[in-house]
Structure 1
Amino acid sequence: MNHAPIPSVDVRDVPADAFLLDVREPDEWAAGRAEGALHVPIGEVVGRAAEVTERAGDDRVYVVCRVGGRSAQVTQFLVAQGVDAVNVDGGMLSWAAAGRPMTGDTDPAHVL
């Protein structure tokens, strides 16, 4: 069994033009997300893996969820598929706390 650490990155080190994969559920996505992120709920990742790898090309995939647990699982899966993927530590909660740009489908004062 492979016990290699899951690659991760601090939210402040995610480049502004990074390919961000958001694996949260639709209600979480609607409440607040990073502009330009690809939304693939965790339950759909395996079935949509080709879409993710095609969109990523040779770029690193920055995987995010609410706090980092689900995205760590997806990162582990993607790395096993040969994708250059890293987990965003602290997820969207850290993203918002760091003041990174966000958008949502609800009142902007209540994003996330």
Structure 2
Amino acid sequence: MNTPTTLATHEAHNRLHELTVIDVRTPGEYAGGHLPGALNIPLDQIRRALPDISHAAARGHVLVVCASGARSENACRILAENGITTATLSGGTGAWAADGHDLHRPQGSARATWGMERQVRFTAGTVVLLGLLLGFVLHPAFQILSAGIAAGLVFSALTNTCGMAAVLAKLPHNRPRAADLDDTLAALRNR
């Protein structure tokens, strides 16, 4: 299995002209700002894009990015299992922007949504508060909701995965339209 390399932001910035950049965040996150020239293929669509990513990797270097690096590492793992050598951006788009590099936004795009981490924090906090409130007002058994979220957060930290993010990514505002993904895959084939 191929092990992905990690590029620091300054390395990626200096090599951007020779890289095929794949952003594995949700379309809403991508619209909020992405590396110049990045193509949006959400993590849950990576397997569908394997032939096209393999073709791009055969022609040059592929850099996989996300907000912080966790989703891009997961994508790189999937790609490596399929014989595709890739690199990931250390710290993701957050580190890219923090180092003073520009993030691009699709022209005419008003479809920016909250980042996945923010969506998870909001959902987890809402369910915890709801569980506590219903536990005090209706029945103590509702506090199990809060305990379940706490257990999920601990599991998420230990495994560097997030089941809640996987569920939230399936919501309509986080999903690419089929035509958008088809256009992205066509652009990837033509690079």
Counterpart of 2:184? none
Report the CA distance between 1:57 and its aligned residue: 2.8
For this pair of structures, how many residues does the alignment match? Answer: 105
> Structure 1 unaligned runs (5+)?
107-111
Letter in structure 2 aligned against 1:34: L
**Correspondence for 1:13:** 11
RMSD: 2.0
Q: In the alignment, is the contact (CA less than 8 A) between 2:24 and 2:64 conserved in 1? A: yes
Alignment of 1:47-86 (within 5 A): 47-86=48-87
Shift of 1:94: 0.6
Quote the Cα distance in structure 1 between the aligned partners of 2:96 and 2:89: 9
Distance 1:93 1:100 in 2: 10
Amino acid at match of 1:102: L
1:65-99, CA deviations, whole angstroms, 9 ceiling, x for partnerless residues? 00000000111111222222011110000111122
Aligned-partner SS, 1:101: coil
Deviation at 1:7, TM superposition (A): 2.5
Q: If each structure's strand is expressed as a fraction of its own residues, which one has the higher value? A: 1
In the alignment, what sits opposite 2:97? 96
Q: Which has the higher contact order (CA 8 A, sep 6+)?
A: 1
TM-score, length-scaled by structure 2: 0.50
- Would you tell me which structure has more helix in proportion to its own residues? 2
Q: Percent identity?
A: 26
With normalisation by structure 1, the TM-score equals: 0.82
- 8 Å contact 2:56–2:62 — kept in the other structure? no
Instruction: State which drifts further: 26-35 or 78-87.
Output: 78-87
Cα 1:5/1:78, change in 2 over 3 Å = closer
Q: SS of the residue aligned with 1:83?
A: coil
> What SS does structure 2 have at the residue aligned with 1:16?
helix
2:4 and 2:86 in contact (8 A); partners too: no
Query: Deviating runs (4+, > 4 A) in structure 1?
Result: none
Show structure 2 runs of 5+ residues with no match.
116-191
Residue identity matched to 2:99 = A
The letter of the residue matching 2:96 is W
Larger Rg: 2
